[in-house]
Every structure is written in C-alpha cells, then in structure tokens.
Structure 1
Amino acid sequence: MICKNMCLAAVTSDGQNLGITISKSVLESYIVSSNDSLELKLVRRATDVDDDSTTFRPEMTHQVFGESESIFGYRDLRIRLYYSAARLTTFLGLTYSEEPDNVTNMMAGKLQAGFHTNLDNFCLDLKKDINFRPPGELQHRFTTAGNENTITKQYEVYLCTSTTPEFRCFHERLQTFLLWFIDAASFIDIDDNNWRFFVM
C-alpha cells in the first residue's frame, strides 16, 4: 500500500509488518479543535438554547484539553456547555458522528457535580432562575437608562465571603469561566478568609 502522507504501520516486536497501515490524513480527520468544538451560552429562557446569536466560544481550552487544544477520536464534535444566566446551573452535551476520547469525563473534573446532561431537564431548571438573587449582602444598586431600542435595566452588586450561605456552590459554577478566558488560570482557595467576592 502506498501512502501519500506519513503512514503508521503495525509491526511485531521482531519487526514483522502485520499489514495494518493508517495514513496520517486518516488520523488527522479524527482530531478536532477544542476551541472550535466548544459552544458556551448563558441561557435566560428555553428559546435561547436554539438561538445561535447567544452562543459564544472560549478564548482557550488548553487548561482542560491540553496544550494542543485538540481532541482525538471524534468527527463532527459539538460540545455544548450552557449555564443558566442567573444561578449558573450547568448543562454539558455532546454530539458527534464518530466515537472518541471521553470528553465528558475530561470536563466533568472541572465542573461542579450535578451538572445536567439532559437538555430538557436543564430547560426545566431555568424556572428557578426567575427569582434568583445572588448570595451575599447588597452593596450597591444602579440603573442603566434605556432608549426606544433598549430597555432600562437595574443592576445590583453583592458582597460575599467564603462563609456566605449558598456562595460556595455558586462560586464553583462561576469559576469554570476562568478556564475558557484566562490563560494559566487556577481556582482560588475559597477557604482563605482574605478573599472578598463581588457578584453582580
């Protein structure tokens, strides 16, 4: 068999060719960019799930998928990592045409336990976001003025510490954004009492 690109051949320990040859181009077709495959969303309502205009991509993925920012073993891989916009409830879903590295396990180590893998359940959970208030103590409130094309919005800033009730779980979901947008990021030691967190 003649390969136009580099070939890998299976051989025995004494050098006998077993007749199995894989071309480099075939192997490359099973390598996907993790930056291109990962879709992020902040979901406010169930209709946002199908709205491509709410999708954004990570700046980087090497902190989860390695320096090459690539995933081996998939074709047509699509990783959907959606967060509810308020509580940051998380959904992780994969679609692909051929099977793989275990991306779910790679990402599960970085996400808070209990993330959704069923999109319908994630959408049902969005109802809990309606009355969400960030944990902590209200520090400041301000309003942005709207015009005929935009609505007036009110924002609130809350102060949290490591002992603020319900903050630890929220923080575990929030800190995963570091992986996609801050190079060489590491999660902080939330048990350090010197940290003060402002949530808006």
Structure 2
Amino acid sequence: MSASDFKPETWTLNANEALKISIVGENAIQFLPLFTYPIYGDSEKIYGYKDLVIHLAFDSIAFKPYVNVKYSSKLNDSDVSNVEEKLLSFLPKDDVIVKDEAKWVDCFTEEQTNYNLPESFCKVSEYSLNGEEFTVYKTNLLDDFAKRMHRRVQIFSILFIEAANYIDENDPNWEIFWLLNKKTKQLVGFVTTYKYWHYLGAQSFDESVDDKFRAKISQFLIFPPYQNKGHGSCLYEAIVQSWLSDRSITEITVEDPNEAFDDLRDRNDLQRLRKLGFVAALREHSEHAFLESNRRSFKLEERQFNRLVEMILLSNKSPSFEMKVKKRLFIKNFDALSGTEPEEAKEALMNSFVLVKDDYMRIIKSVEDFKA
C-alpha cells in the first residue's frame, strides 16, 4: 500500500459518477443520474471503494433490470456500506438479474418476443415526430402488467426528479401514462398522475350524479436518450387533451414542477390558448366573469391561468399588464414591503416586476410562431 491509500479521499467517490445507467436497444446508450441521495445518502458520496462502477441497465422495451457492481479494491471496514444491496432495495424484488449478463439478455429477449400490451392499456393518442410514430397509453396500477412495468421504471423517478418518492401502487387513484414507439415498442417515457375528489360546493354536490376530480401530474419523465426531441410537449399535450375530454375532471394541476417542466407547461398552455382563440379574445374582454368562465373551460388551476393571462397581456402590449403584475406582487409581498421605506418598497417592487417581465418575454419568445 502507498501513503495515498491512508487518505480518506482515496476511497471516496461521487455516487452520481459511479452509477452508470444504460438503456439497451439496437445500441446501448449510457448516461449518469442527476440524483443518487435517496439511495446513497444526502452527500451522494460512497466510501470504501476504489475504481467503483455500478452498472444499472435496462432493455429498451420490457425494461428488465440488470445490476453489476465492479471495483478494484474494497476496505475491510464496518463503515463501508454494501452499494449493491442499497441499489437492489430500490428495484423490484426477484425481478433483477445480478452480474449474469447472459442470463439477463436471455430473459429480456424472451420477454420482447412475446411482448404485447394487455387490453387494460387504453390508447390516449398518437403522434408523429421525426419520421416515427408514437402512442400514448393510460392504465391504472390494478393491472398486473402495468404494476410490473412501473416497479421496473420507478427508480428513474428518484434518479432524475428531485424530491421524488415511490408512489403507493395500491391506491386506485394513481394512473400511469406510457409513451411508446409504435413500431419498435420501445418505452420512451412515463407519467404518474393522481385524481383528487373535487368538492364544488353544496349545491353542485347535491345535484351532481357523478363525482368530480382534480387531476394532478406528479412525476413526468422522458428517458434521457429521448430527451430534447419534442416528446415532452407531445406527451404533456396528450395528457391534457385526455383530461379536457373527461367530464369528471374539473381542474388540471402539477405537483412541485421544476423550472424545466414549468417552461414546457407554459409553452404548451400558451399555444393551446392561442389556438382556442383566447389570446385574441383577451384584447376585448378582461372582466372577472369572462376570465373565470374561460379558466374553468380550460380546466386550469388559478395560479397557472393567471400567469398565462399576464403573459398574454404582455404579448398583446396591453397597458394593464404592468398594473396587474405589480398589484399581484404587492399583495404577495405585502408584509415584507410594509416594513420598508416607501421609496425602497417602490424600488423593490419595480425590480421584481422587471424580473417577471423578462421571464415572461423569454417564455413567449420560445413559443414557436406565438403571436399576440
């Protein structure tokens, strides 16, 4: 052993770099996770190994998981955790092939040979992109096939979505949207969604025969090999259109979206409102009743709808844009602003307004062919 072997940093690795994820189709595409803290701790560090590589692989259709951990040296120390066991605890028990690559290939090859979606997979929509055809399906987790598939892919949620957790597969209100390549059957992405009972008031409750629900997008994931190709927008729009045509859904929400998903949502919602004529109509109407009626028909939650209205007012060069945004910011930050001098409060309000305006302009300019 050399002197460097006694230094802790020699035996400490970044878990995000040690974990190599692969999706294997005609070719194997390898990529790194964004997060590993749910598996290997908040620091995302692994101690006690040299030259550690943790291979986590899936075939591109059935997503049969495979794990193989390799390293050149390991400390004989009680503080050294078993990295393989930790990873396996997040994968479906008795459905993972460990180390035996030939067995894994045989298993997923056999699965792919007989791979057909059951009738419980309801086709939601189809679309064409870059010369290929894709299909969006929906199913609940009461179906055994869907449950098995979700158990295999759910680890991607915690590896690529910050603060994500595994969902309760026994709760019937969870539904999964699946995105597949129509020809190759390759799984491109998936979305977990949840339906909450929506109380619309005593009169509506007494008169309504059918229950009403808020629909929530929870975990939205396009697998890394298929990202930045337009699939996210197509899948999001397929889900929204499915809910717009469902009379039991009254409102569409999103759970803790990150900035990237906020942008995707804003762009697609703006495009949809433009196609439906709302952008033009907003030039002529601004009264509360008009706005609320449209918000309900578009099934948009209040915060998202108000953001879109502000963006449209900006794109329409409406003189009411600045007043509306500043009023909202003042109400939102009233407690903080009330404790400062009037000039300081005015300056802080203006700074916040400029930031909001700049961000809205960025989104508007990113919407292809968006016109006021």
Common fold: TM-score over 0.5: yes
Question: Match for residue 81 of structure 1?
Answer: 56
Q: Secondary structure at the match of 1:35?
A: helix
Q: Secondary structure at the match of 1:184?
A: coil
Aligned letter for 2:34? E
Question: Match for residue 121 of structure 1?
Answer: 103
Aligned letter for 2:40? F
Q: CA deviation at 1:107?
A: 0.8
Aligned letter for 1:187? Y
Q: CA deviation at 1:198?
A: 0.7
Structure 1 Cα separation of the partners of residues 170 and 96 of structure 2: 23
Per the normalisation by structure 1, the TM-score is 0.76
Judge conservation of contact 1:80–1:92 (CA < 8 Å) in 2.
Answer: yes
Question: Match for residue 87 of structure 2?
Answer: 107
Q: CA deviation at 1:57?
A: 0.3
Per the normalisation by structure 2, the TM-score is 0.42
Structure 1 Cα separation of the partners of residues 56 and 117 of structure 2: 21
Structure 1 residues not aligned, in runs of 5+: 1-21, 49-53, 147-152
Judge conservation of contact 2:64–2:152 (CA < 8 Å) in 1.
Answer: yes
Structure 2 Cα separation of the partners of residues 183 and 134 of structure 1: 30
What do the CA deviations read for 1:36-76 (whole angstroms, capped 9, x no partner)?
1011111114x52xxxxx11100010010001101111000
Aligned letter for 1:129? Q
Question: Match for residue 141 of structure 1?
Answer: 126
Q: Secondary structure at the match of 1:101?
A: coil
What do the CA deviations read for 1:62-103 (whole angstroms, capped 9, x no partner)?
010001101111000000000111111000101100125311
Q: CA deviation at 1:131?
A: 5.1
Question: Match for residue 66 of structure 2?
Answer: 91
Question: Match for residue 175 of structure 1?
Answer: 154
Q: CA deviation at 1:104?
A: 0.9
Correspondence for 1:198 among 177, 185, 192: 177
- The answer on 1:41 being equivalent to 2:1 is no
Q: CA deviation at 1:123?
A: 1.8
Aligned letter for 1:167? A
Structure 1 Cα separation of the partners of residues 144 and 89 of structure 2: 24
Structure 2 Cα separation of the partners of residues 134 and 55 of structure 1: 27
Structure 2 Cα separation of the partners of residues 137 and 93 of structure 1: 35
Q: CA deviation at 1:183?
A: 1.3
Q: Secondary structure at the match of 2:91?
A: coil
Q: CA RMSD in A?
A: 2.0
Question: Match for residue 156 of structure 1?
Answer: 135
Judge conservation of contact 2:4–2:10 (CA < 8 Å) in 1.
Answer: no
More strand by share: 1
Judge conservation of contact 1:134–1:199 (CA < 8 Å) in 2.
Answer: no
Give the ranges of 4+ consecutive aligned residues of structure 1 lying more than 6 Å apart after TM superposition.
none
Correspondence for 1:62 among 31, 37, 42: 37
Question: Match for residue 26 of structure 1?
Answer: 7
What do the CA deviations read for 1:98-156 (whole angstroms, capped 9, x no partner)?
1253111111110011201111112222322255344512222223343xxxxxx2211
Cα 1:67–1:24 change in 2 (3 A) is farther
Question: Match for residue 19 of structure 1?
Answer: none
Q: Provide the identity percentage.
A: 25
Structure 1 Cα separation of the partners of residues 89 and 13 of structure 2: 21
Question: Match for residue 115 of structure 2?
Answer: 132
More helix by share: 2
Cα 1:199–1:133 change in 2 (3 A) is farther
Structure 2 residues not aligned, in runs of 5+: 75-79, 180-372
Judge conservation of contact 1:141–1:154 (CA < 8 Å) in 2.
Answer: yes
**Which one has a bigger Cα radius of gyration?**
2
Cα 1:103–1:40 change in 2 (3 A) is same
Judge conservation of contact 2:51–2:71 (CA < 8 Å) in 1.
Answer: yes
